[in-house]
Amino acid sequence: MAGMAEGRGELDMTKPQLQDKVIWITGALGMLGRSAVRMFLDRGATVVATDKREDASETRRLLALYGDARFACFRSDACDEGDVVRAARDIERRFGRLDGIYHNAYVNVWKPALELSLAEWEDSVRGTLTSAFLVCKHGLPLMIRSGGGSVVNTSSVLGQVVSPGCLAYGAAKAGLNQFTRVLAADYAADGIRANVLVPGDFRSEEALARQSEAERQAMRRHARLGRSGRADEVNEAAAFLLSDASSYVTGALIPVDGGFHQ
């Protein structure tokens, strides 16, 4: 990965730079989140990582590399307003500002309507869409006080194309797209930019190595680049949207999908 080698090298100035920016990453223990935490730290950001789970060993490793002046990790459920309020207050208390939000939390339930319970529907919508509302509702005031910043919400091609059984998740991701576009319109005058990443199929390096031939053939049919993506390829786009290099980009849906088509 380009950037600072284990937190001690020189910044790679060919990449979107995030130095002097405080960035809040939700869903930080998921595949995208873990990759983003390391990438953004290597690009000079101060990173606040939140997730409803905990990984003490990863937290200790990153604190040893970057120190608590540049990295913090809180257990915080993005679906719980009390947790989100506490996380936002902790960010302000510890770092005094917030320049970017990278929202990755979601809940996916894969069932057609007649097999989907109300609880499963509500879990998916709350985990995917309501969580974005809560994080933005309580994070944006600090961003505005900090002089503005960038919100990046992670959606999915399944919020735009039809996949049988993807009712709750697809509807929630489609709602997230419109939520972000309206957010961009409402707060542009406050210096807030808001954009949506729309990934296709992406996997970790390890998962790509384990991908079956049938899965590879499916991706050759559905992605013009003929393969699944990597988490770091999605996060490169996120780093651009969170950096000053994207200062004239807002209200956009940015596909990172290898040319996905049905």
Supply the residues annotated as catalytic. Answer: 169
Nearest residue to 79 via CA among 30, 24, 143, 123: 123
b/e map of 22-58 (b: 16 or more CB within 10 Å)? Answer: bbbbbbbbbbbbbbbbbbbbbbebbbbbbbbeebeeb
Three-state DSSP state, 154 = strand
CA atoms within 13 A on the CB side of 59: 15
Nearest residue to 38 via CA among 232, 197, 230: 232
Q: Cα separations (Å) of 179 from 34, 90, 131, 154, 195?
A: 25, 26, 12, 12, 10
Contact status, residue 147 vs residue 141, Cβ threshold 8 Å: no
For residue 249, what are the contacts with CB-CB under 8 A and spacing of at least 6? 193, 195, 241
